[in-house]
A = this chain, B = another copy of it.
Amino acid sequence: MAGGSNKNWILMVTARSPTNIAVIKYWGKRDETLILPINDSISVTLDPEHLCTTTTVAVSPKFEEDRMWLNKKEISLSGGRFQSCLREIRSRGTDFEDEEKGIFIKKEDWKKLHVHIDSFNNFPTAAGLASSAAGFACLVYSLAKLMNVKEDEGQLSAIARQGSGSACRSLYGGFVKWSMGNDANGSDSIAVQLATEAHWDELVIIIAVVSSRQKETSSTTGMRESVETSPLLHYRSKEVVPKRILQMEEAIRTRDFPSFAKLTCADSNQFHATCLDTSPPIFYMNDTSHRQVFCMEKWNRSEGTPQVAYTFDAGPNAVLIAKNRKVATQLLQRLLFYFPPSADTELDSYLIGDKSILKDAGIGTMEDVEALAPPPEIKDNIPSQKYAGDVSYFICTRPGRGPVVLGDEALALLHPETGLPK
């Protein structure tokens, strides 16, 4: 088997993958094991500079079992989703050699070598920011590079899909469509890139991470219950989404922000409508989410044409997509006006990601936040209500690139000699 007489080597790859936010939503599976959806979906990949998963994968004859660490804690790999991804990648490994290090691996050896996996999110896992999408995309991508898999991103996306449906869309940067496909085995249920992040680089994205006391229904459970009980979901997937997919592809192709925004908002709302139509009903949006929608709708209406699109995943966090940088500074002013930090929060930790937006918005201190004028769309006679503390923090980001290998060994999460977390 692998490596001749030298059994002491460790082969390692580190990669970084983005998360993504759907603008035409995925909700409902037609196959629970293969994770095949009931409709196409479209997403924007978020810049991994601000939100990403970094994963180091390693193989070595020394390793005695497959092991994984997530955010510094060892977790079990026994789940079917991990096993599917590992099996699929291992079966596609090809011959590899590194003469200098004395490593020779034949394609059939990948099934015998144990892997160590260390994964880290640069954002809170529990914050409802699609950490599993970035995570499984990164796992599959890094394993594929490690095992010298020759398949392209589309084929890898079908493997990542079996880890977490939306992970397939994180195999590309920019604007991505997940085609539901027709095959029973899922071979054509893959992601395709509609446009790179450079195609529409004016967009700015601000995420409001909303404080929530409620334990939310997991999206796996939620979508299963919706498929089983919501009459509206089936109508949506068959009759509404196919038209919206075509319209959204066109809006992205032509960088038509008003159409993009209208479709994005309508589809987010319709997804949450089908959650409400589920028995028992699922509520992901809370009063804070509702207020954010209300503010954006009011602003967009007052401008005569949409400035900002909003979309909510399976949780109360708002993802706000501004037409351009200028609009994003106005958006940030509005957000900080309505949702200032609670008294014990520093401004510096209240907006993370691309912090330069603060300067563009003329905000350097908490005094600047307090001095923000009410947005002009508020009528003078209505006292404006503020909701301090209802948002935990904001993240400013933009559309970004797909997965990349990090060549710098210093960035590896596993120790080059022990193969254990650094």
Contact = CB atoms under 8 A, between A and B. Distances in A.
Interface of A: 213-214, 231-232, 235-236, 239-240, 262, 265-266, 269-270, 272-274, 276-281, 283, 286-287, 290, 293-294, 297, 301, 385
A276 B276 contact: yes
Contact of A232 (B232, B279, B280, B293): B232
A273 B213 contact: no
* Oligomer copy total: 2
Contact of A277 (B239, B273, B283, B290): B273
A294 B276 CA distance: 12
Contacts of A240: 231-232
Contact of A290 (B266, B272, B283): B283
A269 B265 contact: no
A279 B213 CA distance: 28
Given A232-B270, A283-B293, 4 more contacts: A262-B279, A266-B277, A269-B276, A281-B293
A314 to B, nearest CB: 15
24 contacts: A213-B385, A231-B235, A231-B236, A231-B239, A231-B240, A231-B270, A232-B235, A232-B270, A262-B279, A266-B279, A269-B277, A269-B278, A269-B279, A270-B276, A273-B277, A280-B293, A280-B301, A281-B293, A281-B297, A283-B290, A283-B293, A286-B287, A286-B290, A287-B287
Contacts of A273: 232, 273-274, 276-277
A278 B266 CA distance: 8
A292 to B, nearest CB: 11
A272 B279 contact: no
A220 B381 CA distance: 25
A286 B214 CA distance: 13
A364 to B, nearest CB: 32
A165 B273 CA distance: 25
Nearest to A240: B231
Contacts of A281: 269, 293, 297
A166 to B, nearest CB: 22
A385 B235 CA distance: 37
A272 B276 contact: yes
Contacts of A280: 293, 297, 301
Contacts of A236: 231-232
A143 to B, nearest CB: 38
A286 B262 CA distance: 24
Contacts of A287: 286-287
A232 B214 CA distance: 28
A191 to B, nearest CB: 26
A281 B310 CA distance: 12
Nearest to A213: B385
A138 to B, nearest CB: 34
Contacts of A283: 290, 293-294
A385 B240 CA distance: 39
A287 B232 CA distance: 23
Given A232-B236, A232-B270, A265 B290 contact: no
